[in-house]
A and B are shown apart, each in its own frame.
Chain A
């Protein structure tokens, strides 16, 4: 451990910590552009200059390791450091275009922020600025503006060290140097959108979010992605009841600082396909004053009838939340008199070395934990198909595959023909599928951003989504619909969300110690007994191994350099 002084405060930190890391860990903010905790150190922006006593020159805080007895003065305390940083700001701005009025970064731009905090109010530069291309598409999602770029190289380092795809590099030299891709090899990896997050200025923008509402008009809602079994922590930026953008939220246990493009572009997908959304309940008595009551009543009657004859089953989904799974289990075991319950798989491709999981559902582990503990073993969908084909079922309560978003190319859970034998098919879903097409009673649900829920990822991490949007009246949260159904079938008042969570802690040992109220906006909690899986959760892909290697030399890495040196 090493003890040093910074801005008059004495701090003790592990050996091998840089001044910048030590400062940030103790809430002392030192401005920085090229530094990112998830990438190697570049030390090229020079904005983090600090005054270290006995050093002959200004030192960059990001690459100066703390030594015993070192005395450091940052811009908070030192006029010298402020002057140096002001000088670096001036240099960055002399060729920077006055794009703020049309630049998407405005409001979360570090040039703006630091300029406001420590820059000079006027410019001394009266020459012609350097000019360059302003709308170059580097790939399907990322657009590059040369004039705004401050050459911090975060994007290049991301592609080398995190995605491992190395599409980006710096071309030419000096003030003319430019970030680019090799002709014919665009920036096209599953994580390309992350470079837009880490770009400190508006040089890299997401094509799907260009000229979207200003970031300072957005309401940020912390949530969890539902596109696969990892459940990256995300931020939903909403404006006028729409999700304008999705960014990753830092979660060292699950996704570090990153998310994949598919998850990121969910909002755009939802916006594009919104018109196909299932809308309004179906299957209740014609002309009923309250179609929802009518549909639920019709569903309850049919299911109860089939249950008495032992001819009903439940098709669950690992796209249903933990609370919804609890209600399904109670329904199956209770009023549906031990109806067998099926849990289909939705898999695509392979797990990759970074974030993407082949399991395209967010709650398989959670669903199985609940069903196991409540003695409703989850059976595969193929078994259901066989039973349907044999004609032995008259009713099926089904959660559809489109609960979280449109399902595009997924193969149907059961074949459409097999459903023909059913007298009553009750379906809860948000987007059209084979099931919703064939439903006799259709209860449209909210999607992942319109109601809260709890989910458990592939490594036993319990996380929550939040209600970010207000749904319209044509859909309802599945937890509410299932609750209504349960109440109708049992005659007892069904539990609300909080009550369900309490019961889960009592009835499902894996959830015993979960502090439910703390889940939203956090980095999650582990299921009881899942610590081993937890250790394997955060990504350690090949490119990231370089970062984790510490001081070891890695001669065969893309740059042949130690991970802390660019």
Chain B
């Protein structure tokens, strides 16, 4: 098992121990692949090819099968992205409350297009489908946190705080928003 191709981090030891814990929860080991991939991504920033091979061997699957699983789901990344992943919802309910305007604002403020990362590496901007927060639209997910009820001001305040290295309180805002 190649150990150090992408990030230089080993899989034996701490990682393997956590994997064993996860596998023990399930009646069939193969079912543990998704939580293990989340674990690998949390540790390395994305799912490395090394991780895929290690996981394949650990769960007795072929590496191509693991790669097939990784590339099927939107949340597993196969390469590095900026320090903060901005995932803006652009499906119908958010669109009705002005997410398109918000997207334009984000592109201008950060000076990047969708799919790109800012020069300083702090932000990557992507659009995503419905995040299940239509009651507090428009909104976006920054890394793991939902930031809701976003008008342009609130968005700026949140992004500036994140840029400073803070983790502003997530969840709904003080009032509902409708950007015209």
Q: Within 8 Å by CB, do A and B touch in the complex?
A: yes
CA distance A168 to B53 in the complex (A): 14
Least CB separation from B69: chain A residue: A169
Q: Which of A167, A172, A560 contacts B64 (CB 8 A)?
A: A167
Contact between chains at B63 and A170 (CB < 8 Å): no
Per-residue contact bits, chain B 54-72, to A (CB 8 Å; 1 contact, 0 not): 0000000111111110011
User: With a CB–CB cut-off of 8 A, which chain A residues contact B66?
Assistant: 182
Contact between chains at A185 and B63 (CB < 8 Å): yes
Query: B30 an interface residue at 8 Å Cβ cutoff?
Result: yes
> Given the known A-B contacts A183-B49, A555-B28, are A171 and B61 also in contact in the complex, defined by CB atoms under 8 Å?
no
Interface residues of B in 60-114 (CB under 8 A from A): 61-68, 71-72
Shortest C-beta distance, B17 to chain A (Å), equals 24
Query: A181 an interface residue at 8 Å Cβ cutoff?
Result: yes
CA distance A181 to B66 in the complex (A): 11
Query: B52 an interface residue at 8 Å Cβ cutoff?
Result: yes
17 contacts between A and B (CB under 8 A): A166-B64, A167-B62, A169-B64, A169-B65, A169-B67, A169-B68, A170-B68, A171-B68, A171-B71, A173-B72, A180-B64, A180-B67, A182-B52, A182-B63, A183-B49, A184-B49, A558-B61
User: With a CB–CB cut-off of 8 A, which chain B residues contact A184?
Assistant: 49
User: With a CB–CB cut-off of 8 A, which chain A residues contact B63?
Assistant: 182, 185
CA distance A183 to B65 in the complex (A): 12
CA distance A183 to B71 in the complex (A): 13
Contact between chains at A166 and B65 (CB < 8 Å): yes
CA distance A172 to B78 in the complex (A): 11
> Given the known A-B contacts A169-B68, A171-B71, A172-B72, are A558 and B62 also in contact in the complex, defined by CB atoms under 8 Å?
yes
Least CB separation from A172: chain B residue: B71
Q: Which 3 A-B pairs have the closest CB atoms?
A: A166-B62, A169-B68, A182-B63
Least CB separation from B27: chain A residue: A555
Shortest C-beta distance, A132 to chain B (Å), equals 14
Per-residue contact bits, chain A 550-566, to B (CB 8 Å; 1 contact, 0 not): 00000100101000000
Q: Which of A165, A171, A173 contacts B67 (CB 8 A)?
A: A171
User: With a CB–CB cut-off of 8 A, which chain B residues contact A180?
Assistant: 64, 67
CA distance A168 to B72 in the complex (A): 15
> Given the known A-B contacts A558-B61, A558-B62, are A182 and B30 also in contact in the complex, defined by CB atoms under 8 Å?
no
> Given the known A-B contacts A171-B71, A172-B72, A173-B72, are A185 and B28 also in contact in the complex, defined by CB atoms under 8 Å?
no
Least CB separation from B28: chain A residue: A555
Contact between chains at A185 and B64 (CB < 8 Å): yes
* Chain B interface main SS type: helix
Contact between chains at B64 and A182 (CB < 8 Å): yes
Shortest C-beta distance, A170 to chain B (Å), equals 5
Supply 7 further A-B pairs (C-beta < 8 A) apart from A165-B62, A185-B63.
A166-B64, A169-B67, A180-B64, A182-B53, A184-B49, A555-B28, A560-B28
User: With a CB–CB cut-off of 8 A, which chain A residues contact B67?
Assistant: 169, 171, 180, 182
Interface residues of A in 157-195 (CB under 8 A from B): 165-173, 180-185
Interface residues of B in 110-142 (CB under 8 A from A): none
Contact between chains at A560 and B30 (CB < 8 Å): yes
Taking residues whose C-beta sits less than 8 angstroms from the other chain, chain A's interface range is 10 to 19
User: With a CB–CB cut-off of 8 A, which chain B residues contact A183?
Assistant: 49
User: With a CB–CB cut-off of 8 A, which chain B residues contact A168?
Assistant: 64
Interface residues of A, Cβ cutoff 8 Å to B:
165-173, 180-185, 555, 558, 560
CA distance A166 to B30 in the complex (A): 16
CA distance A185 to B63 in the complex (A): 9
CA distance A23 to B65 in the complex (A): 34
CA distance A171 to B76 in the complex (A): 13
Least CB separation from B53: chain A residue: A182
Per-residue contact bits, chain B 7-40, to A (CB 8 Å; 1 contact, 0 not): 0000000000000000000001010000000000
User: With a CB–CB cut-off of 8 A, which chain A residues contact B30?
Assistant: 560
CA distance A555 to B68 in the complex (A): 19
Shortest C-beta distance, B78 to chain A (Å), equals 10
Contact between chains at A173 and B64 (CB < 8 Å): no
Contact between chains at B28 and A558 (CB < 8 Å): no
CA distance A172 to B64 in the complex (A): 12
CA distance A263 to B64 in the complex (A): 27
CA distance A171 to B78 in the complex (A): 12
User: With a CB–CB cut-off of 8 A, which chain B residues contact A167?
Assistant: 62, 64
Shortest C-beta distance, B106 to chain A (Å), equals 25
Least CB separation from A166: chain B residue: B62
User: With a CB–CB cut-off of 8 A, which chain B residues contact A560?
Assistant: 28, 30
CA distance A184 to B68 in the complex (A): 15
User: With a CB–CB cut-off of 8 A, which chain B residues contact A185?
Assistant: 63-64
Contact between chains at A181 and B72 (CB < 8 Å): no
CA distance A508 to B30 in the complex (A): 56
CA distance A167 to B67 in the complex (A): 11
User: With a CB–CB cut-off of 8 A, which chain A residues contact B28?
Assistant: 555, 560
Shortest C-beta distance, A133 to chain B (Å), equals 15
User: With a CB–CB cut-off of 8 A, which chain A residues contact B53?
Assistant: 182
User: With a CB–CB cut-off of 8 A, which chain B residues contact A558?
Assistant: 61-62, 65
Shortest C-beta distance, A177 to chain B (Å), equals 8
Interface centre among B28, B63, B66 (most CB of A within 10 A): B63
Contact between chains at A173 and B62 (CB < 8 Å): no
Q: Which of B49, B61, B64, B71 contacts A181 (CB 8 A)?
A: B64
CA distance A183 to B66 in the complex (A): 12
Least CB separation from A170: chain B residue: B68
Shortest C-beta distance, B6 to chain A (Å), equals 11
CA distance A169 to B62 in the complex (A): 9
> Given the known A-B contacts A166-B64, A167-B62, A558-B62, are A173 and B49 also in contact in the complex, defined by CB atoms under 8 Å?
no
